[in-house]
Homo-oligomer: A and B are copies of this chain.
Amino acid sequence: MPRESKRHKILEAAALIVHNRGIDALTLDAVAEEAQVSKGGLLYHFRSKEALVEGLVLHMNNIYRTNVENAVYEDINREGKWTRAFIKATYDQSLKNTETSAGMLAAQGINPDLLKPLQQTYANWQDNISNDGLDPVQATILRLAADGLWFSEIFGLAPLDEDLRKQVLDTLLKQTHQDKNNA
């Protein structure tokens, strides 16, 4: 068991509980048990429940940002690269929603202020997407559709079956290659 991995294990455990049983089941005891850590060990890493949730948000925020940024750098085309990167990263996130959305739900449940880092990230992305060489309104619609995909997975609101989901992804990406003029 590598040293620093306990902290990470705790975050994963917390996310799992939120995903499976809802945030009401996110108690310190439950997290400690799930992570196979003593309560003392848990509180050593996170001094309070709020700190734990804060950690969750920060963790997912980091992953999410990294994914988007990587996708941006890998993109060959200049126009629409932020929009494409966001769509790809959000699409991936919507599938692995166990880890990711848990922080968001937990934060909303315990203290909505804890969402600020993620809100900051999103504000930044929306800014980039609006100035991505595409029609801003159309680019925003593509962004929102990606969010909607994630949303549908989180709450189980008519999540798309695999076929349709892939077609949607393809179409969204395709539309980031249209230029401003053919609305």
Hey, which bits of chain A sit against chain B, CB under 8 A? 22-24, 104-105, 108-112, 115, 118-119, 122-123, 125-126, 136-138, 140-152, 154-158, 160, 164, 167-168, 171-172, 183
Collect the chain B residues with CB atoms within 8 Å of residue A141's CB.
Answer: 145, 168, 171-172
Closest approach, in angstroms, between the C-beta of A52 and any C-beta of chain B?
13
Among B111, B123, B142, B156, contact of A22 (Cβ-Cβ < 8 Å): B111
Among B125, B144, B155, contact of A148 (Cβ-Cβ < 8 Å): B144
Among B104, B109, B157, contact of A119 (Cβ-Cβ < 8 Å): B157
B156 touches A168 (CB 8 A): no
With both beta carbons as reference points, the residue of chain B lying nearest to A138 in the complex is identified as B171
Collect the chain B residues with CB atoms within 8 Å of residue A172's CB.
Answer: 141
Among B109, B150, B151, B152, contact of A23 (Cβ-Cβ < 8 Å): B109
Collect the chain B residues with CB atoms within 8 Å of residue A112's CB.
Answer: 22, 156
29 A-B residue contacts at CB 8 Å? A22-B109, A22-B112, A23-B23, A23-B24, A24-B110, A105-B108, A105-B109, A109-B109, A115-B156, A115-B157, A118-B155, A118-B157, A119-B156, A119-B157, A119-B158, A122-B157, A123-B158, A125-B158, A137-B168, A137-B171, A140-B160, A141-B145, A141-B168, A144-B145, A146-B148, A147-B151, A147-B157, A148-B148, A171-B183
With both beta carbons as reference points, the residue of chain B lying nearest to A137 in the complex is identified as B167
With both beta carbons as reference points, the residue of chain B lying nearest to A154 in the complex is identified as B108
Among B145, B155, B167, B171, contact of A108 (Cβ-Cβ < 8 Å): B155
With the chains together, A119 CA to B148 CA distance in Å? 15
Collect the chain B residues with CB atoms within 8 Å of residue A156's CB.
Answer: 112, 115, 119
With the chains together, A46 CA to B138 CA distance in Å? 45
B157 touches A152 (CB 8 A): no
